[in-house]
Structures are given as structure tokens and as C-alpha cells.
A and B are shown apart, each in its own frame.
Chain A
Amino acid sequence: MSGLEPSGPNRHCAGILLARPAGLPTESAIRAQARGACQKAQSARKIGDSLPSFATCRVAVSPNARAWLASLALVGALLASSDAAHAEPPQEEPASDAARPCRSEPSRRALAVGASIVPGVIVHGSGHWVLCEPETARRLVYLEAAGAGSVLLSGTGLALTGASRYVVAPLALGALGGLALFATTWLADIYGVAAPAGGSGQPRARTETLILQAGVRAVHDPLFDTGWLISQGLLVNPGPLWLAPRFDASPDGSHVRYGFRAGRRILGAHLDPTRHARWGIDGVVGVRDFTEQNEGFGITTLEVALSGRLDLVAIGPSLEGAFGFAEAGYAREWHRFDGAPGHTWDALLGRFGFGMYLGHGPDVRGETWVAYDHRRDTVAGGLRVPGIPAGYAGFLEHRTELYFDRHFGAALELAYGSAAVASVYWLVRFPRGGW
């Protein structure tokens, strides 16, 4: 379901699909508070001040609202930085990083790329530090520390409570959010020192009204003879709602999946669904159904989620063209069996990824991303991790899509979990303003 959903930065729409909890301030109030706090941070012009100002943006929100938002660790953390740096990114960056004095030295650049990997895998921001961009480096390492701290705290909580049924969901989300920050900041460090000036690409300023996707998916699953799937999907984005139906089926009809997701922006840099927004959180509801005739079972799922994304230029100017995204939610499942009674079940939804825009031209644009998805009910299932941690991981996925002109493009998707899945799609888009 990921391909035509608004994980890509130029596909987010506005709206409210989740009830606002009692005590949660209005969106305009949150934004006003955030703006005020962040203006103070701008005037400080010191990263040590501006990063705490992110916290200020959050502290300004009522305790209930913070508790609600805190459940989305990644989204919250990234948005905190977004608020501080995003309203007018070029002006917010400290002068030292904006000047980027070492980028013109090829040897320094090569050293920075190396440093972003080792010791960058441990100390995120190492690449930017070598490239004389300490402000971005510090932001990355602070966010990494926040992520590592979240993983540590959540992991400790899980261990101490024996993954108690009463606390496992928020603790698992905390761990996933921490992992998201950890992974995103590392990839961002590598990207920031390796990407060309201006980044790998830019998002389109206006989102598409309609995108059609059709293709085939090759599946290797040791336990299911799925083989090939014919896949069709579309994204309708008239605003303020976006709708994303999808259909996957094997040629013999033994494996059939339907899906439908709808979303609406509930928080964001702006709520106009027809324009690209540099950050936003959508409320999402979805339904999907899966039938495996050869094994005689099926699953129907209802889900609600918050789905957010952020253009990472909010962290530093070198990250122009990169983005991160995350989703958290809950799913209720109805399992049915041929010749036996069914049962219900539930699932925690969590997903995060890092991507980059491709292309700067007016039409030849695209994006590529890698992600981790915690769900186990897709074609890919969950990772079969060897050893003790078996069973607790979701799957890894990648998508690259590129439009060759104003209307036509192609996409490649790879997913690896219990099954290995490779998908290729033909894309047709209908930009706003007509064909």
C-alpha cells in the first residue's frame, strides 16, 4: 500500500480524521505558539539555543496534547525541528553552515563522506563536522542522541515490564521512533556531505490531482506459492481529502488483496493540499482485505494512523532535497478460515523512512526512499531474523520513482521480510492545471 500513498513529500493532503483529544489546543494555537518560540530561537542564532527552542515549541502545547503527540516519537521530534527551522529555511541557518566553506575542496569532501560512514555510523554528523558545517553536525548528533535515548528508555521499559500488555504499545512506539531518528540522522549525514549543491532534487511545487499506477510484482515466499501479482492503484488528491485505492491479485486469483486508504492533513507547514508542504501530519484511515484461497484463509483490516513527513532541510541547508517520513497507528483485524471459525486480532502500525527527491527540471522529477515498516500483514510479511530476536521485526522496503515527462513515469519497489518482493510500475499523473 506504500507506493501511492502520501509517504512521498509531494503527496500530502490536509484534513482531520482523528478526533482531537480533550485539552488539545487548536492547530492555529499550536502553530502560533511554535512560531513565537522559534522566532526567539532565530534571534539567538546559536544552535545550543535553537535546539532547546524546539522543545520550547512543544512545551508550549498543553500536557494532554504533548502526551498525544509524544506517542509519535519520530514525527514529533522531526516536526519540532521543522517548526524551528522551516518557516523560512534559508534565513534560519547559522551563517557558518550557510556559507559551507569546505564544500569546494574535493579532498575534504571525500574525507567527509568517509567520516559520515566511519565514525559516522556511531557519531552521526561526523561528515558535516569534517565539512566545516558544525551547526548541522550538532543538530544531527543531538537528534541521534534523542533517538538513541528513546530506544534505550523504551528498551529498558520493555525489559523491566516483560513487555507487559499494558505498556507494550507506547514503549514499542518509543523504540521505533528512536530507531527512526537514529537511522534518519545517519542517512542524512551521508546525504548531506555527498549530495551535490542544491541537493539531489526538488519536490514539485504543486501536487498531482490524480496518479495512476499499474504494474507487476514478483514474489518469492518459501511458504506461499504467490508467484506473480498484477497490481493496480491510484491516488486521487482533489483536496482536502486524498484517497488511495489499490488492488493486487495473482493471475489465477488465488491471492487477492484490496486496499483503500484515505487521509487528510491535520497539522502542517500549511494546509493547502494542492501545494507541496515541507512538513505535515495527515490523519489516515484505511481498510484492506486479503484472501489466500490455496490456504483457505483471509484477513480484513481496519486501521487508523497518523502519517507525517518532513523535508530535512529543516535540519541544515546541506539536506536540501532529502526528506524523512513516519507513521504510527493501530489496526484491528478479522481473520477468517475455510471450515473453521474466525477470530479477531490487532496490530501496532509503525513505519519510518528516509528519501531524496530526484531531479530539478520542470517535469523530470522523482524520488527514492528506503523505509522500515513494522506491519506483518503485507505480501512481504515480517523479517525472519535469525537467532533470539525472531518475530519482532517488520520488513524493509525501497521505492524509486521517476517521471520522464509531465505525465509519464515508472517506479521500482523492493520489499524484504518473510518474502522477497520486487515490483515495477508504470505511472501516469495528472498535474493540477490540466493535462
Chain B
Amino acid sequence: MIRPILIGLALCGCLDVAEERARRDLTVGKRQNDGVRVEVEGGLAAVRALDRESLELWANAPGIRAELVLPATSPERFRVRLRNVLSDAVVTLSRADGTPVELSPIQTTFVTERRAEFVASGGGTFHLTVAAPDDAVVEPFEFLAFADVQDAMPRVGDVFAKMNLEPAARFVVMAGDITERGGAEELERFQREQLALKMPIFTTLGNHELGDGDVPYHDYFGRGSESFTFHGVRFTLLDTASATLDAMVYDWLDTWLEQGRGRVHFVFMHVPPMEPIGVRNGCFSSRAESDKLIGRMARGGVTAAFYGHVHSYYAFEHAGIPAFISGGGGAIPERFDGIGRHYLAVRVDPAGSFETRVVRVD
């Protein structure tokens, strides 16, 4: 008798604050409009626009694959615009039976963007792939990690300029708090600022993306929780913007941990399950849940975890997993720590090792 009442109260309250966003994740990368349908594998790209003549995707992973279905009444030419891709990404297209389709490139100003068009008359099902030529090659590489830009967006160009000086870095992984309030205008502003960066940013969202009642994040950047592989290294991004992980995402995480077993596996999220300064508690709402997630990551063989939320830099361990908080994107810094704006450069060898380097921006 009591438990149904509790469950009823919970449904009226805040126990499942992240559930709606988890459900939203399931819709990312899928859209149908005017007889045209697209589905991005794993939801690894946001569909920014889709109509009878064109498709625009915002990639949130180094390699994406999508199925595109065009009606028989399609116009002769169909255009695709792919944003936030690796600077050496290659776009390929084939019909459902594997027959290659010729793409005619369209000139673009930005190295992280690809535009092309193809003959679509007669419609049909097409498979679109965007990836670097060496996407599946298992070899060492470098990526950058940062978080917490928020109200420092007018100065984020400094960070990007410094990042552009990293010749070996392939992409940036951002652990949330892109904006101060998460509104569409701020999200668009960030994507405009990002055009100055010569590599893509793959991100999850932070608590500051929840500032407006509506959360348009997924329309602009894609899923909050997702997982992908690059050079044999597993990357998993989790939506902990509400200082918790939805029950549904725990199930996804189990799958991703299994897929990453035996590989180098990095996990990124905004609010850390644990932060070194426990009296501050810039971390999960429940210590039991902290241990639930950390325990799963440890048993799942996670190589290292990268967090944001705390505007400083910390390197520590939880349950034996090396963990890094790097919230140096420019938001109000933690004082007296001698850190300031910064990002992390991570050199990883898929054979099983990695090293990090703190790069100060100022």
C-alpha cells in the first residue's frame, strides 16, 4: 500500500529528473519529413535539417553511418551537409545493395564541414558514411578534453586558438556546460564560435544546459549519452547533467562497457560521481549512486574518466580508475588553485596506455 503511494509521489516529483532526456536520446539521429527518412546509427549525429532536397547533420562522433530513404518522386539532385566532422573526414555514399553513388563535393569554408550532392532521381535507400580514412586503424593518437565554458563564451576563441596549435590532436571531447543557460541562442553562438576550431568537438551536456525549462541541446549537438570507437579506443559520454544517471542509461552503459571490454575505454560526463572535495559535493546527489556508477565502471574495465562541473583541475583515483576533472573552459574559476583556463591533451596508445598533459590557456 505504501510503496504505490511513494511511487505516485515520486512520479509527481523529481526522482526521475533525467528520464525525459534519456528518452530524447533515443530520438536523436532519426527524422522523417516530406517522404524523406533518415536514421543515424547509434544516434551519433543530430539531424539539423531534412527536406525533399537536402539533409544536414551535426556529427557527435568521429565516424557516423546513416541510412537515407528518398521517395521515388525525389528531385534530381539531393544535397547533404555534414558539420562537426574530422578535418580529414571522407564522405561516401552507396545504395542499399552496396553500389557506390558518386558524390559531387560542394566547396565549403570550414575544415570541419563537408558538403556534397548526388543524383537522387527515382529515390531509394542510401547508406551515408562519414569517417576519417584511418578511423579503424589501431594506432596511437591524441585528443583534447575540456568543459565549462558557460558565460565565458565571448572568450572561448582563446581556448580554440590554443587548441589549434595542437598538431597531433584529432578532436576535442567536451564534458558539458557549453553555455550559461542552455538556450537555443547560446547553443547557436557556441557553434558559430566553434567554426574557428580546426577540429570537431564531441560533447555531452552539463547542468547549465538545463537552465531554460526546455532543453534544446539535443537538437543542436545530439545525444547526451552515447558511445563510439576511434582507432580501437572506446569513448563513452554520459548525461549526468542532473547529478544522476537515468536508469535507462545504466542499461546502455552496461552494453557499452561490454563492447569496450579489453580495449582502452574512456568515459566522459559533466557532473562527476565523485569529486575530491567531498565537503563541497560538486558531484552526484546520492553517494550510493556514486558508488553504483563507479563500481560498474571499475568492473567494466574503464581506463580513465574525465569530468567537468568543478572549475579547476584535479587528478585523482576512484575505485582504482584514474579520474580527471578539467573544468577550465572559462566559467567562474575556483580561486586559489593556481590553475585558470586550461584543457587536457591526452595521448593514447590503444595497446593500453595513455598520458595527459594540462595546457594552460592564459
Contacts and interface: CB of A to CB of B under 8 A. Distances in A.
B117 interface: no
Interface string B283-296: 11111110110111
Contacts of A303: none
A290 B9 CA distance: 26
Nearest to B248: A222
Contacts of A335: 291, 294, 318-319
Given A383-B285, A390-B285, A391-B207, A418 B292 contact: no
Contacts of A405: none
A164 B279 CA distance: 11
Given A165-B280, A222-B247, A393-B285, A422 B6 contact: yes
Interface in B228-273: 241-247, 250, 271
Nearest to A392: B281
Contacts of B287: 299, 333, 345, 347, 376-377, 381
A21 B247 CA distance: 47
A387 to B, nearest CB: 5
B334 A165 contact: yes
A71 to B, nearest CB: 12
A383 B320 CA distance: 28
A279 to B, nearest CB: 27
Contact of A416 (B13, B245, B334): B13
Contacts of A389: 207
A384 B278 CA distance: 18
Contacts of B279: 168-169, 172, 330, 346-348
B15 A164 contact: no
A48 interface: no
Contacts, number: 215
A385 interface: yes
B288 A385 contact: no
Given A220-B3, A384-B243, A419-B15, A292 B281 contact: no
A168 B280 contact: yes
Nearest to B2: A218
Residue with the greatest number of chain A CB neighbours at <10 A, chosen from B210, B243, B285, B294: B285
A419 B3 CA distance: 12
Interface residues of A, number: 62
Nearest to A290: B288
B208 interface: yes
A45 to B, nearest CB: 44
A162 B335 contact: yes
Residue with the greatest number of chain B CB neighbours at <10 A, chosen from A163, A342, A391: A391
Contact of B334 (A161, A337, A339, A381): A161
B34 interface: no
Given A342-B319, A377-B287, A391-B285, A220 B6 contact: yes
A347 B278 contact: yes
B288 A420 contact: no
A337 B288 contact: no
Residue with the greatest number of chain B CB neighbours at <10 A, chosen from A222, A348, A390: A390
B285 A382 contact: yes
B282 A391 contact: yes
A384 B295 contact: no
Contacts of B207: 387-391
A376 B280 CA distance: 12
Contact of B210 (A160, A172, A345, A387): A387
Nearest to A228: B3
B281 A387 contact: no
A348 to B, nearest CB: 4
Given A386-B242, A416-B13, A163 B285 contact: no
B277 interface: yes
B292 A224 contact: yes
Contact of A376 (B242, B277, B281): B281
Interface of A: 159-166, 168-169, 172, 218-224, 227-228, 290, 292, 295-297, 299, 330, 333, 335, 337-343, 345-348, 376-377, 381-393, 416-422
What are the 6 A-B residue pairs with the smallest beta carbon separation, nearest first? Answer: A391-B243, A381-B286, A340-B298, A382-B285, A346-B278, A348-B279
Given A339-B298, A381-B286, A391-B243, 14 more contacts: A162-B333, A220-B3, A223-B247, A224-B288, A295-B295, A337-B299, A338-B299, A376-B286, A381-B285, A382-B281, A385-B17, A390-B285, A417-B285, A419-B286
